[in-house]
A = this chain, B = another copy of it.
């Protein structure tokens, strides 16, 4: 089985502002340790895919940084989108690229900005998904066992169990949008719903066939692009064709319409590192629950604070449950519970014309 890892690095998330910026999205940041989330993602895939079979789909404004962070990747393996066209186009582009070399090869599609704690289980689960994809005309999606009644994720409802041996394989019953808390609790209690992870496996030719069926406009655009992929014409061809592609998620555009879905239940420790608040689980805490990305913390009667001080000594006196972030040009302070509202600050900056801080 030939296997390609397709890393989706197109995001320009704002929830780690001011560390994440327009020109420095979350996946390029070193939020934990020395390596960026993108680099950690590539490192983690080492046992499955050598660098020449790792593709990164990213925005053209970030392609240079991706190249710098991943010098081991052949330059052609960085697919630079002139603009975002959502995940159906990104997955289709990668499948078309892979199909030029080996239509039967399996694409493992993975987000660039997640953290995985049990890497061995991660690898063995991906191997199972890849085997399924290699052995049948199926689209495989990974569903994560919920750990709490999350309202911030979509859910996959599993149907008939095809193989109960872990990682268990099921047919799909339904996709569900982000639920309210009561519904999320029902999902958690029922045991048949999994978090929609954004991780997939399929043969390149299988996805392209499904695109022809469900998103013919996208499929024909990709067919037009295909001859240029992996050639010196690649960039110019993307610039011509990409703007005309429909922008729709692979979930809505393909998976929800397909009858060939399999769900692999994933139990490896996982975090989508959704906001500063999530760093409370990922950074080392002191006895009072204060955590710092880097740099010493001196806390007197202070607890539960999350600090990214850019390596500075953080001196906390009598403050609780704050997030504080210092970058070269911004200082952010907010309660941990309101990290998700950072986007409101960015809206305000736009209104005030302070684009330099976005």
Q: Which residues of chain A have a CB within 8 Å of any CB of chain B?
A: 18, 296, 298, 300, 305, 307, 309, 312-319, 322, 324, 326-335, 338, 341-342, 344-345, 348-349, 352, 354, 357
Query: Does B18 lie within 8 Å of A345, measured CB to CB?
Result: no
Partner of A319, one of B315, B334, B349: B334
Q: Are A318 and B335 in contact (CB under 8 A)?
A: yes
Across the interface, name the chain B residue whose C-beta is closest to A313: B330
Asked if B349 contacts A298 (CB within 8 A), the reply is yes
Residues of B with C-beta under 8 A to A300:
341, 344-345, 348
Which residues of B sit under 8 angstroms from A305, Cβ to Cβ?
333
Q: How far is the CA of A8 from the CA of B17 in the complex (A)?
A: 45
Docked complex Cα distance between A345 and B319 (Å): 14
Q: Chain B contacts of A345 at CB under 8 A?
A: 298, 300, 315, 317
Contact status B319-A335, CB under 8 Å? yes
A328 (CB) vs chain B CBs: closest residue: B312
Q: Are A354 and B296 in contact (CB under 8 A)?
A: yes
**Are the C-beta atoms of A333 and B330 separated by less than 8 Å?**
no
Q: Is the CB of B317 within 8 A of A331?
A: no
- CB pair B309–A331 under 8 Å, yes or no, is yes
Residues of B contacting A18 with CB < 8 Å? 313, 315
Give the residue among A315, A322, A357 with the most B Cβ atoms within 10 A: A315
- Is B348 in contact with A334, judged by CB distance below 8 angstroms? no
Q: Are A333 and B317 in contact (CB under 8 A)?
A: yes
Given known contacts A324-B324, A348-B298, A316 and B330 CB-to-CB distance under 8 angstroms: no
- Contact between A331 and B314 (Cβ–Cβ < 8 Å)? yes
Selected contact of A331 from candidates B307, B342, B349, CB within 8 Å: B307
Min C-beta distance of A283 to chain B, whole Å: 15
Q: Which 8 A-B pairs have the closest CB atoms?
A: A317-B334, A309-B331, A315-B332, A313-B330, A312-B331, A315-B345, A314-B331, A318-B338
Which residue on chain B has the smallest CB distance to residue A329? B312
Interchain CA distance A324-B318 in the complex, whole Å: 12
Q: A296-B354, A324-B324, A349-B298 are in contact. Are A331 and B318 (CB under 8 A)?
A: no
A314 to B345, CA, bound (A): 11
Task: Give which listed residue, B324, B328, B341, contacts A333 with CB less than 8 A.
Answer: B324
Q: List 11 A-B contacts (CB under 8 A).
A: A300-B344, A312-B328, A312-B329, A313-B357, A314-B330, A316-B334, A317-B332, A318-B338, A324-B331, A324-B333, A333-B333
The smallest C-beta distance from A44 to any residue of chain B, in angstroms, reads: 32
The winner among A313, A334, A348 for most chain B CB atoms within 10 A is A313
**Whole-angstrom CA separation of A354 from B335 in the bound complex:** 29
Contact yes or no, B319 A354, CB < 8 A: no
A117 CB, nearest partner CB in chain B, Å: 29
- Distance in angstroms between the alpha carbons of A341 and B329 in the assembled complex: 28
Cβ of B315 and Cβ of A330 under 8 Å apart? yes
Bound-state Cα–Cα, A342 to B329, Å: 25
Residues of B near A342 (CB, < 8 A) are: 317
Contact of A313 among B312, B317, B331, B341 (CB under 8 A): B331
Of B331, B341, B357, which is within 8 A of A326 by CB? B331
9 additional contacts (CB under 8 A) given A317-B338, A317-B345 = A298-B352, A300-B348, A312-B326, A312-B328, A312-B330, A315-B330, A315-B333, A317-B335, A326-B331
> Which residues of the other chain, B, contact A344 by a CB distance below 8 angstroms?
300, 317
Residue in A298, A307, A333 with the greatest tally of chain B CB atoms within 10 Å: A333
